[in-house]
A and B are shown apart, each in its own frame.
Chain A
Amino acid sequence: MKIALFGNPNTGKSSIFNLLTGLRQQVGNFPGVTVERKSGVFQIEDNKYTVTDFPGIYSIYPHSKDEEVVYKVITNPKNKDYPDLAIVVVDSSNLERNLLLFTQLQDLKIPLILVLNMGDIAAKKGIEIDLAALKSAFPSVELVSMNARIGLGKDRLIDAIQKHKFEKSSEMFLPGQFPLGMEDEEGQKEEANQRYHKINSLIQKIVKQKPEIEKYTSSKLDRILTHPVYGYLIFIGVLFVIFQFIFSLANYPMDWIELFFMKLSEWTSAALPSGILNKLLSQGLIPGIGGVTVFIPQIALLFFFIAILEESGYLSRVVFIMDKIMRPFGLNGKSIVPLMSGIACAIPGIMATRTIADWKERLITIIVTPLMSCSARIPVYTLLIALVIPKTYIGGFISLQGIVLFGLYALGLVAALGLSILLKLIIKQKKTGFLIMELPDLKNPRWGTIFKTVLEKVKIFVWDAGKVILAISIILWALASYGPQGSMEQKIKNAKASALFKESNKMDQANYIASAKLEGSYIGHLGKLIEPIIKPIGYDWKMGVSLLSSFAAREVFVGSLATIYAIHDDSASKQRLISRLKAAKNSEGKSAYTLASGCSLMVFYVFAMQCMATVAVVKRETNSWKWPLIQLFVMGTMAYLSAFLVFQILQ
């Protein structure tokens, strides 16, 4: 049997969904749109129920693309999501407004259960609801009072579901034509007016408002959180704490995961008989899975903090103070969270854009977020800076290298905002964006809900982005491990014949062979193939190979360079890598890593969309390949052109 959950925003709908389904939840999209469709199953005795949590709405008539989903489902009994029974969750402290949606659903002749939630808050506000009067006003409806926040009333709800006779209301609450068309705004307004007049006269009998016991208190704290000085200071402080946690805490599990998969590869390689299966597992599949897993700590931590901000109601205050600042850029107050999280990792940022109701503002946020310099760029930046920027101090104490690093971050931010303005002018939209948002009362977050959000987001990442990352890393492994007939053998033979090789010790010899193999492989050939294209921006084929292989993830650039320059890639040999790169010559016999080519590479990494995981997530969040491909192209062009400029100017 299909049960649907409806209600206004902030009525505790999701707590009830969690109470009913526990961890047996599935998160996906409604067909054709990127509106989250959460569904779950539960069983009472032998009956199986599927519950779907619909987006929070005030009325069945849609005012955004997301809300159209609800209208299309409930006005069409043939829709596969059309419910057999609907649970309408209402905020008891605000019955009048909540009843509008309820009476519309009743007039659609859907069997209903009315859940009166948040009775504790109503009591605090001196509101008393006469259940008998409510029942006599809506005789066909089952009433259940709950306090879902603390898990109270679950048994009563289950009981009501079980005993429900699927009775429908026999008469219309509001007689007349219903439902109206989606576009008939004038008619919808009139309908809402008439419904409220009827509801108002009912409410007189149902709700007793005693003089308020507790005055509305949220506003004092709100005034501080939205204060011109303290408001921003508090926000900066919150961000500072979050990033401290992410950069100090996430590193440990990330190191463990890397080490674990490295050991697992070694072990597999030793345990299995050598051959193609061994290689596929130990060099392709296991490192590939490791490459997906290593993202999890950062994504989980970021979502943990975003969920706390959201659950507590603080996030909507941030939106409130940031909206005016973000608007000239075609962004929304809500864009600040994705952009900020982009400094750690763009993936959770892009997944968090769902809260932006306006499609255009949301799309712009998705497109520009990967321009923020994420943590995967750090190893690339630090290597290149150490390589080409002199270790001097301006005025004796300001490090030039530090200024360059800061400059790269600033460049990313400026590019993100600049591109936003451009997109604002280009992307056309019929309806102008608006910000009508409830500021919910501030409250303590519930850890259970936060835990579930984190789990859900990590699951989405692993399944949706994970398979793309895995596929790309296996393709890259195959390209690097195999080459055209005889090509790798020839390179190895040449390497073994060189004087340098004969003088080296065993370990260095192994490194030389690895380097020769890479040169002879398909990816080595590809690198040479693209050399004419990357020459104007200052790169030789070796950098080309590293650029190509870092397409799975940016930080691979460093490891790939190490292999190609025949250095074993571990932290102890970073210094050796730098000195070897400094000595490296290009095909014309000049230094390969000069100030010009190094800076060109840095700028390239600021702009280029060198992250397949982000491409996969953008595809998921925009529901088409159109936008990720446009993004890939735009960022790639920006990267190439600016790298060209930088190289030509500095050369």
Chain B
Amino acid sequence: MTMKLSEMSAGSKVVIETICHPFLSSKLTEMGMLSGTELELLYKAPLGDPIAIRVKGFTVCLRLDEAKYIHVDSL
């Protein structure tokens, strides 16, 4: 079932399905986030936004406005 990364709770482990935003998708793909890449939502900032994700051995933070374009599937 497809979900948005922005709707996940801390600790979820998911796999990227698509990133549907031309600009973000080229940037994130270049950072190694391809379709099928596993990622873990580590924790959220105090006000729930931005979020920190662990992907391929590094940690990246994203605003919810960015995370909502990342469609994910549960592992």
- In the complex, what distance in Å separates the CA atom of A94 from the CA atom of B55? 11
Task: Select the residue from B24, B26, B48, B54 with max chain A CB neighbours within 10 A.
Answer: B26
Q: Which residues of A contact B46 (CB under 8 A)?
A: 226-228, 231-232, 321, 324
Which of A61, A185, A186, A324 is within 8 Å of B47, CB to CB?
A324
> B47-74 interface mask toward A, CB cutoff 8 Å, 1 = contact, 0 = none?
1111010101111111101100000000
- How many residues of chain B are within 8 Å of chain A by beta carbon? 32
Q: Does A431 contact B (CB under 8 A)?
A: yes
Q: In whole Å, how far is A638's beta carbon from the nearest beta carbon of chain B? A: 31
Q: Which residues of B contact A218 (CB under 8 A)?
A: 59
Q: Which residues of B contact A226 (CB under 8 A)?
A: 43, 45-46, 52
Within 8 A of A (CB), among B27-59: 27-32, 34, 42-43, 45-50, 52, 54, 56-59
- With A227-B46, A436-B28 as known contacts, state yes or no: A63 contacts B56, CB within 8 Å: no
Interface residue stretch chosen among A187-195, A477-485, A547-555, A574-582: A187-195
- In the complex, what distance in Å separates the CA atom of A249 from the CA atom of B62? 38
A63 and B27 contacting across the interface, CB-CB below 8 Å: yes
B45 and A192 contacting across the interface, CB-CB below 8 Å: no
B60 and A439 contacting across the interface, CB-CB below 8 Å: yes
- In the complex, what distance in Å separates the CA atom of A192 from the CA atom of B19? 14
Which of B56, B57, B63 is within 8 Å of A435, CB to CB?
B63
Q: Does A501 contact B (CB under 8 A)?
A: no
Q: Does A420 contact B (CB under 8 A)?
A: no
Q: Does A125 contact B (CB under 8 A)?
A: yes
Residue on A nearest B48 in the bound complex, by CB = A324
- In the complex, what distance in Å separates the CA atom of A97 from the CA atom of B56? 8
Q: Which residues of A contact B24 (CB under 8 A)?
A: 434, 436
- With A218-B59, A325-B47 as known contacts, state yes or no: A96 contacts B32, CB within 8 Å: yes
- With A97-B32, A193-B29, A324-B49 as known contacts, state yes or no: A434 contacts B63, CB within 8 Å: yes
Q: Does A489 contact B (CB under 8 A)?
A: no
A219 and B43 contacting across the interface, CB-CB below 8 Å: yes
Q: Does A437 contact B (CB under 8 A)?
A: yes
B30 and A59 contacting across the interface, CB-CB below 8 Å: yes
Q: Which residues of A contact B30 (CB under 8 A)?
A: 58-59, 61, 100, 188, 192
- In the complex, what distance in Å separates the CA atom of A435 from the CA atom of B60? 10
Q: Does A71 contact B (CB under 8 A)?
A: no
Q: In whole Å, how far is A232's beta carbon from the nearest beta carbon of chain B? A: 7
Q: In whole Å, how far is B60's beta carbon from the nearest beta carbon of chain A? A: 6
Q: Does A109 contact B (CB under 8 A)?
A: no
Q: Does A216 contact B (CB under 8 A)?
A: yes
The secondary-structure label for the interface of chain B is mixed
Q: Which residues of B contact A435 (CB under 8 A)?
A: 50, 61-63, 66
- How many residues of chain A are within 8 Å of chain B by beta carbon? 43
A192 and B26 contacting across the interface, CB-CB below 8 Å: yes
A193 and B34 contacting across the interface, CB-CB below 8 Å: yes
Q: Does A68 contact B (CB under 8 A)?
A: no
B23 and A63 contacting across the interface, CB-CB below 8 Å: yes
Q: In whole Å, how far is A363's beta carbon from the nearest beta carbon of chain B? A: 19
- In the complex, what distance in Å separates the CA atom of A464 from the CA atom of B24? 37
Which of A228, A323, A441 is within 8 Å of B63, CB to CB?
A323
Q: In whole Å, how far is A90's beta carbon from the nearest beta carbon of chain B? A: 13
> A311-335 interface mask toward B, CB cutoff 8 Å, 1 = contact, 0 = none?
0000010011101110000000000
Residue on B nearest A228 in the bound complex, by CB = B46
- In the complex, what distance in Å separates the CA atom of A97 from the CA atom of B57? 10
A436 and B43 contacting across the interface, CB-CB below 8 Å: no
A61 and B31 contacting across the interface, CB-CB below 8 Å: no
Which of B27, B34, B49, B58 is within 8 Å of A196, CB to CB?
B34
Residue on A nearest B50 in the bound complex, by CB = A323
Q: Does A93 contact B (CB under 8 A)?
A: yes
A185 and B66 contacting across the interface, CB-CB below 8 Å: no
A97 and B31 contacting across the interface, CB-CB below 8 Å: yes
A437 and B60 contacting across the interface, CB-CB below 8 Å: yes
A438 and B56 contacting across the interface, CB-CB below 8 Å: no
B47 and A439 contacting across the interface, CB-CB below 8 Å: no
- In the complex, what distance in Å separates the CA atom of A323 from the CA atom of B31? 22
Which of A97, A193, A231, A324 is within 8 Å of B58, CB to CB?
A97
Q: Which residues of B contact A188 (CB under 8 A)?
A: 26, 29-30
Please name 29 pairs of A and B residues whose Cβ atoms are closer than 8 Å in the assembled complex, sorted by A: A58-B30, A59-B30, A63-B27, A93-B57, A97-B56, A186-B22, A186-B26, A188-B26, A188-B29, A188-B30, A189-B22, A193-B29, A222-B43, A222-B52, A226-B52, A320-B45, A320-B50, A320-B52, A321-B45, A323-B49, A324-B45, A324-B47, A324-B50, A434-B65, A435-B61, A436-B60, A436-B62, A438-B60, A440-B59
Q: A100-B30, A434-B63, A434-B65 are in contact. List 19 more A-B contacts (CB 8 A).
A: A61-B26, A93-B57, A94-B56, A94-B58, A96-B56, A97-B31, A97-B58, A186-B26, A188-B26, A188-B30, A193-B29, A216-B54, A219-B42, A227-B46, A231-B46, A319-B61, A434-B66, A436-B60, A438-B60
10 nearest A-B pairs in the assembled complex, by CB-CB distance: A228-B46, A59-B30, A97-B32, A439-B59, A189-B26, A324-B47, A192-B29, A185-B22, A185-B26, A188-B26
